[in-house]
Amino acid sequence: MIPIAILLAQSKAGEMDRLDAIRAFATQAPTLETATDPNTPKYQVIRLNSIPQEYAGDRYGVVRLRLPPGDPSTLVLLFADVGNIVEYEIMPARKGSAALRGNTRLIHPALSEHESEEEAESSDLTLPKPWDHFELHLLGFGPELLKAGEEYLIWFRFAGKQPADVLLAATLLKGPVDIAAEKLPALFRLPEHKDE
């Protein structure tokens, strides 16, 4: 019988091998620009999964994000789940680093129905179409999780070979900011979700 400690060590080594393989994909990865004004998110559409980047039979896509040097910042991210994303994380680009843990995550429902062309109920909403028809993933990272001047990688694992045009936005806020899950939609000027 194999002791549990050995199995855990093998599992951790296997995960680090996977993360380092994903890091290797980042040499050709596009860079996500950041905004510093929470009232004007800078949306970017980045095509992922069009060039095969595979590890252990799974397909991945990577986006780079560089934090500016200087004072610590809070990072808030948004991306639209286009339907074939099965896993995602953010990690330092530095080899041997694990994915960040301890961040806030919230899934915001689609802003409009696929069958409807009506606008979402918000006069200041700037989310481009057709991404208003997809769930939005909102992520918050406090300054204690990030290092100014360091490069990070946002990676996605895909369910199949279909290319994905992923809408992303990243905003840096000075110092510590309340990034509780219920606060994240307002940082991207998203309307409050009303349960039916």
pLDDT tens readout for residues 18-73: 999 999 999 989 999 999 987 788 899 999 999 889 999 999 999 999 999 999 89
Rounded mean pLDDT, 133-153: 93
C-alpha distances (whole Å) from 60 to each of 32, 86, 111, 156 are 17, 10, 27, 5
**Confidence (pTM):** 0.84
Whether the pLDDT of residue 10 is over 80: the answer is: no
Q: What is the pLDDT of residues 87-141, one digit of tens each?
A: 999 999 999 899 999 999 998 887 665 444 444 444 355 566 677 778 889 999 9
Cis peptide before 38 (omega within 30 of 0): no
pLDDT on residue 93: 96
Q: What is the pLDDT of residues 179-193, one digit of tens each?
A: 999 988 888 878 765
Question: Positive or negative CA dihedral for 99, 105, 111, 112?
Answer: positive
Higher pLDDT among residues 95 and 6, named by residue:
95
Residue type, 91: M
What is the band of 13 on the pLDDT scale with cuts at 50, 70, 90?
low
Whether the pLDDT of residue 4 is over 80: the answer is: no
pLDDT on residue 157: 96
Rounded mean pLDDT, 138-148: 94
Of 36, 27, 159, residue with least CA distance to 93:
27
Q: What is the pLDDT of residues 68-89, one digit of tens each?
A: 999 989 999 999 888 899 999 9
Q: Residue 76 has which token pair?
A: 């808030």
Q: What is the phi/psi pair of residue 114, to 5°?
A: -60, -35
Count how many residues are written for the chain: 196
Q: What is the phi/psi pair of residue 27, to 5°?
A: -60, -30
Of 133, 132, 152, 2, residue with least CA distance to 68:
152
Question: Positive or negative CA dihedral for 81, 86, 92, 95?
Answer: negative
